[in-house]
Amino acid sequence: MERTRLITPIRTLACSGYRLSDETLLTTEKYPIIEVFCRIPANKLVSMRHDPEVRSREVGKWIRYVRKSKAKGEIVFFTLRVDGENIDKISAEFLADTISGLGADIVSIPITLDRNPKAYIEFVETFHEEFKSAAYGTKIELAYPIPPNILRDYDATRRLLKTYLKKKPTILLVDYNGSNPFSSVYLPSTRYIYGWKTSKLEKTLNQPSIIYGINIKPKAKWYPLPARDLATIFLDFNILGSNHIPLKLPREIIEEL
């Protein structure tokens, strides 16, 4: 397949069903890349498999977001986050079949909350195999994510990237879970990812690759800054996505809202 071409660094615009968070309203012209980020709890994934009504409602929402994004963007990037661990093989295959038919240009392997890299690698392998065997799977660029709980663990991050190198990914998606790359929790892995990208991945590919940072919350003193400056701050990330993780506020403040 022909690789998706992007001029980077760039900041995505997020498509949302909620008007206040729908960044596609910020432009009246075609934007280079629109991001569709969806989340489901792991137990809902089971319901989707067994209940046609639940499946139709949830997948229908994903399809609407992708179609809406197609009208606004040149490239549509779809990411699903499953808030759970140890996603079973049948669910991984179900997600691969479903997501491959949404019509997005770039699809991330779903993010989970796995802490054990072995469990997540098994999920990735199953999803990848099923996705590439699907009718549209070979026509869609696949991004490889580093979930937040694995990102917190330096050794787990190294193990995951060792597996990814065999897949020769051109896009890595890094989920910071509402934090930032300079957090003491994430900084060691972030440094390793950047070094791995230049010293191993791009030498294997013999071409540039892309690091896509998502759910990043900049420090207040950095805001607002243009995408090019932010990309430099965030260790040469090529694409910056939106932060989809709700701000945790004290109960007394929430009650006043």
- Check residue 19 and give its pLDDT: 64
In this prediction, residues 242-252 reach a mean pLDDT of: 67
- Check residue 136 and give its pLDDT: 84
CA–CA separation, 212 and 10 (whole Å): 10
- Residue 193 token pair: 């990812």
CA–CA separation, 11 and 128 (whole Å): 27
Handedness of CA 226, 176, 151, 210 (dihedral sign): negative
- Using an 8 Å Cβ cutoff, are 15 and 244 in contact? no
Residue-range domains of the chain with CATH: 10-256 (3.20.20)
- Model confidence at 255, pLDDT cuts 50, 70, 90, reads very low
Distances, alpha carbon 110 to alpha carbons 8, 83, 98, 238, in Å = 23, 10, 12, 20
CA 165 to chain centre: 18
- Using an 8 Å Cβ cutoff, are 81 and 39 in contact? yes
**Most confident range, picked from 70-79, 133-142, 236-245:** 70-79
Say which residues have a Cβ less than 8 Å from residue 40's Cβ, sequence separation at least 6. Answer: 48, 58, 80, 81, 82, 83
CA–CA separation, 31 and 249 (whole Å): 33
- Model confidence at 230, pLDDT cuts 50, 70, 90, reads low
Assign 101 to helix, strand or coil.
Answer: coil
Residue 87 one-letter amino acid: I
**Nearest Cα to 131, choosing from 121, 122, 141?**
141
- For the cut 70, the answer to whether the pLDDT of residue 254 exceeds it is no
Rg (CA), the chain: 18
β-bridge mates for residue 107, sequence order = 78, 142
- Check residue 105 and give its pLDDT: 95
Burial class (CB in 10 A: 0-12, 13-18, 19+), 219: exposed
- My answer on whether omega of the bond before 9 falls inside 30° of 0, hence cis, is yes
Assign 132 to helix, strand or coil.
Answer: helix
User: Beta-carbon neighbour count of residue 217 at 10 Å?
Assistant: 15
- Check residue 219 and give its pLDDT: 56
CA–CA separation, 174 and 155 (whole Å): 16
